[in-house]
């Protein structure tokens, strides 16, 4: 695999200092609601919902909040109607961005994303302007916790994983989109708890950024992800981990 997500790696590195629990819960619960609306409220028959619930539990999201989000999706409780939207953009240094959002007002959301890009040295692109630089894949992150790589690799490769890599204190597993759920269950059966499992845009190649460009890019990525409607940002950059402190 040409490019794992450097932005994901940086976010894990910075997570200990991230106190935005409420915002994280909001994004996780919104995904649960949308997944339940799309495929029903039974996680055993709705792989997207099961994955969303697992991600929420991994972040210690309260059980009652998860159950309420499911009921909003199935219509048992009144909820907001969210639309899935994808924005393609460029950031500082020519870095390509894939911005996934769940919005109850896409007109508002695109205006907010465009404003953050403009202030942060980027610009919004048109449909398919950068998507060709990425592959749509499932991606699972598992804390290493001193585990032997072979012990992790064997069950997930048997379940159909395409790629496996160690990144700092995490294992990052890549799957075909349709195999994300099966590989997640294989990890669970092996006693391995994922910290995150989701569909992601994986870059086919990366753009190197340094110095002030790296600093500007990290600030822009954080600003975009801080938007309530934005669920996830994938980007095709690479940088030295020492540059992270600049962000």
**H/E run at residue 63:** helix 63-74
Residue 245 burial (10 A CB sphere; 0-12, 13-18, 19+): exposed
pLDDT at 127: 93
At 1, the pLDDT band (50, 70, 90 cuts) reads: very low
The pTM score is: 0.87
Higher pLDDT, 22 or 157: 157
CA separation for the pair 94, 123 (Å, rounded):
10
96-103, strands of its sheet edge to edge: 123-124, 83-90, 96-103, 230-235
User: Does residue 217 contact residue 91 with C-beta atoms inside 8 Å?
Assistant: yes
> CA–CA distance from 196 to each of 75, 117, 131, 140, 219 (Å)?
27, 26, 23, 6, 23
Q: Is the pLDDT of residue 117 over 90?
A: yes
Q: Rounded mean pLDDT of 35-63?
A: 94
Percent of the chain with pLDDT over 90: 66
CA separation for the pair 95, 221 (Å, rounded):
11
Q: Which domains does the chain have, with CATH numbers?
A: 6-74 (1.10.10.200), 83-132+205-239 (3.30.70.980), 134-203 (3.30.70.980)
At 188, the pLDDT band (50, 70, 90 cuts) reads: confident
Percent of the chain with pLDDT over 70: 89
At 17, the pLDDT band (50, 70, 90 cuts) reads: very low
Q: What's the CA angle centered on 37, arms 33 and 39, to 5 degrees?
A: 115
pLDDT at 115: 98
Q: Is the pLDDT of residue 16 over 80?
A: no
């Amino acid at each position: 695999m040409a490019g794992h997500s450097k932005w994901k790696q940086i976010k894990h590195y910075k997570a200990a200092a991230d106190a935005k629990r409420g915002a994280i819960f909001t994004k996780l619960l919104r995904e649960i609601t949308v997944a339940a609306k799309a495929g029903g409220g039974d996680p055993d028959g709705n792989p997207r919902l099961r994955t969303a619930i697992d991600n929420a539990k991994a972040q210690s999201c309260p059980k009652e909040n998860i159950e309420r989000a499911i009921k909003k999706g199935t219509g048992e409780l009144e909820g907001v109607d969210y639309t899935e939207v994808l924005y393609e953009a460029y950031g500082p240094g020519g870095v390509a961005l894939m911005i996934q959002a769940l919005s109850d007002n896409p007109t508002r959301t695109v205006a907010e994303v465009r404003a953050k890009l403009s202030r942060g040295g980027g610009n919004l692109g048109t449909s398919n302007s950068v998507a060709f630089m990425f592959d749509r894949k499932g991606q699972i992150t598992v804390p290493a916790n001193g585990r032997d790589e072979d012990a992790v690799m064997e069950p997930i490769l048997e379940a159909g994983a395409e790629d496996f890599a160690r990144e700092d204190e995490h294992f990052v597993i890549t799957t075909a989109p349709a195999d994300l759920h099966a590989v997640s269950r294989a990890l669970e059966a092996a006693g391995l708890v994922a910290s995150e499992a989701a569909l992601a845009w994986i870059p086919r190649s990366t753009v190197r950024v340094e110095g002030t460009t790296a600093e500007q890019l990290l600030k822009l990525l954080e600003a975009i992800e801080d938007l309530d409607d934005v669920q996830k940002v994938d980007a095709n950059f690479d940088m030295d981990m020492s540059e992270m402190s600049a962000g």
